Structure 1
Amino acid sequence: MDLSLTEEQLMIQDMARKFADSELAPVAAELDQSNDQDVFKANLAKLAELGFMGLNIDAEYGGVEAGSVAFSLAITELARACASTAVTTSVTNMVAEVIQAVGNEEQKQNYLPKICSGEYLAGGFCLTEPSAGSDPAGMKTTAVKDGDTYILNGSKIYITSGSFAGIFVVWAVTNPEARKGKGISCFLVEAGTEGMTVGKAEEKMGQKASPTNEVHFDNCRIPVTALMGEENKGFAIAVGELAGGRIGIGSLALGVGLAAMDYARQYITERQQFGQSLSHFQGLQWKLADRYTELEAARLLLMQAADLKEKGLPFSQSASMAKLFASEKANKACYDAQQLLGGAGYIKEYPLERMARDVRITSIYEGTSEIQKVIIARELLK
């Protein structure tokens, strides 16, 4: 088995690493504290210019056709410096992939170049609702056909980039009489559409620079041409795209975990206690050995899932395994990194405090660790 990266994948990984080091790392702490959206959006625009908002999108629509492995590598490198930027990039790529996968030619020509170029700074993925989180098939938002339009009513929550996304992929019930999960359709709704309002950004524990909003639809009228794919068959689209999104979030978790351990490793080589470097103590050495081994295993799981996706093979189980393992082990890595710093790890002057907050959500969003186990078990028991 050849696990080496292609020249293009290495180039994208290197480009993401250099951008993260030069543009993201210097402002990450500031963004966490001040939530300066001008700085945050400027970096998103730069990433779009470099092609990072359409990594797996065809060149004819403005993408770079780099594939899922390159996407995973890029998200990991961005997350090493700024998890907020990485999650916005991941979700925007996911939105673009939904449109490419199920949109018609007119929809792809209209929206994909705007996402890839940065004309739309981000895309919104509107699935989760107040009463439909881990069970999205239980959604209540409706889309009623009225002549040559649909009328949307309902609310979505926890929408990444809701306050500045240019286009939203929205799921709604179009046949309330259908069996659960079978009467749902998928729509494209442009920002600023009358009847759609975006709530204030949530006050979050971590990833503070990335806005997370409620999105409300109150008699929001959209054209029938906004429908993506077939009516009443949209839930399968959501399930498929969430699997791809889990590669992104697993990669993000890996990046944060690696950054935390790299910082702690350097710290213990410089810190002196009991007349010697902390790195000489076997107990601390073993923490490093355990965490880096787990993070390397997470990387391999992510590469496997991304490679299967890239080859058009079934990858849902692999993606869930990768997301579950990477997010849980990255959380462990961040907390152990804090422990290696001792009291300093709890102080905002050091980056571990921020990383521990940023990584926590990775075992929750894009499907909790518990949901990943349900998916994995379901696949094993088929």
Structure 2
Amino acid sequence: MTAAARISLDLIGITKVYPSAVALNQVSLGIRGGEVVGLIGENGAGKSTLMKVLGGTIVPDEGEIVIDGKTTPHLKPAEALARGIAFVHQELNPFFNLDVAGNVLLGREPRSRRFGFIDHAAMARRVKPLLDMLGARFQPSTQASELSLADQQLMEIAKALSTNVRLLILDEPTSSLTLAETQRLLDVVRRLRADGVAILFITHRLAEVEAVADRVVGLRDGRNAGELRSGSINRDAMVRLMIGRDVTQFYTPPHVRQGPVVLRTRNLRTEAYPQAPVDLEVRGGEILGLAGLVGAGRTELARAIFGIDPVHGGRVEMNDKPVASGSVPAAIAAGICLVPEDRKG
């Protein structure tokens, strides 16, 4: 990342209409270099559409974009990149056949002067400081296929930082990070702000917005819902921006009588954590939340129950009948379904 003039950017009256819905209706947003702006809103509020307008992948029907005093009705992706706008998307698309350095510098690889071959040593030298800045535990030479989802996220952030970035847009950047990795990322955000980079921080984790944002802009139903400035940014105020009512007015569902135990694990020991047996029960009409940090074993438990991974002890029961371990067909026949965290894998 090299030094560059601080960006001044304004989206003014952006409107985007589809045949079935109005995605954006006269939305305005401004951001300056050295500022962190949190963009919040419920799913469907228009955050993603607004970012695609900024990235040049969607042409708005109305409105204008003003960057460094120059006005344009829309941007092209190459123009956005040339003006120092970089994205880290929630949906990751790494090239698993390349190493980390190859992913970070894709299309911008340094080449040797003599024969024009890709200079892998130079790539590693350029990428290593970025990984160190993010506190990554992998190397430029690490294959992307060996990275966890959390490490893939860090690699994407390093890719954004490798450009001459003036505005960094982070879309749910901590969704796959551990608590420690999240804190490191927030430290990076603060450091970039001190260096004059503008950061648009999009997340549903309001505590993170409260921790780093100088301003908060709320969207609701494709419109501006309001703005909060430093000193008035808190969870209750952000929730009011997002949903248009006070937290105490949330709908409370009626009590549902629980049925008999449907799913039960007895002393279940997963392949990842054979030393930690798990006992749980889920009754009919009940929603059981399974909480924990990244790496706590939630995914491993789900995979073991569904029969993807072998178990090292214990058993799974459906309706008081044992389910054969390590067998996906047996789990499906028993009525168990799995929606994995990695929708592509």
More strand by share: 2
- Point out the structure with max Rg over C-alpha: 2
| TM-score for the superposition, normalised by structure 1 | 0.23
More helix by share: 1
